[in-house]
Amino acid sequence: MATEYKLKGLTSIDLKNGQKQEAEIEGIENGKVLLAKVKDELHAMSANCTHYGAPLKLGVITGEGRITSCFNVATGDVEDAPALDPLAKFEIIQKDGAVYIKGDESFMKAGRRPLNIKCSAQGEEKVVIIGRCV
């Protein structure tokens, strides 16, 4: 269920295109969110890479809205390896001199959203997937 959470110490968001800032989420232990502005639009997403947890506040945002380690700022989707899980995205609400994000508490705590992939066998054929981890 989507719930609103206040961002600690923020009264407004003053970012220019390509800028980002990390903020603490009140009421979520160790909860953090990354705010970013791309193409005049504000976005709130998980604060750390879903691969090994690198802080995305240290990442680079391209003009097209891609943040290293290669996530789409607008959707949170993975755009390149090695991360597998997408970032969680949250709605931003600015009201009464404060900034809130709205979203699923479990996604805020996990710092990611689960992949929504379903796969089921259609016949008797077998498939082998070969790869290596780097």
Residue with smaller CB distance to ligand FES, 126 or 132: 132
Q: Which of 29, 52, 97, 129 binds ligand FES (CB under 6 A)?
A: 52
CB 99 within 8 A of CB 6: yes
Name the CA dihedral angle for 96, 46, 74, 99, rounded to a multiple of 10 degrees. Answer: 10
Q: Which of 51, 77, 79, 105 binds ligand FES (CB under 6 A)?
A: 51
Using CB under 6 A as the binding rule, whether residue 49 contacts ligand FES is answered as: yes
Query: In angstroms, what is the C-alpha Rg of the chain?
Result: 17
CB 42 within 8 A of CB 92: yes
Amino acid found at 42: L
CB 116 within 8 A of CB 76: no
Smallest distance from the beta carbon of 49 to ligand FES, in angstroms?
Answer: 3
Q: Which of 25, 34, 46, 69 binds ligand FES (CB under 6 A)?
A: 69
Using CB under 6 A as the binding rule, whether residue 87 contacts ligand FES is answered as: no
Using CB under 6 A as the binding rule, whether residue 98 contacts ligand FES is answered as: no
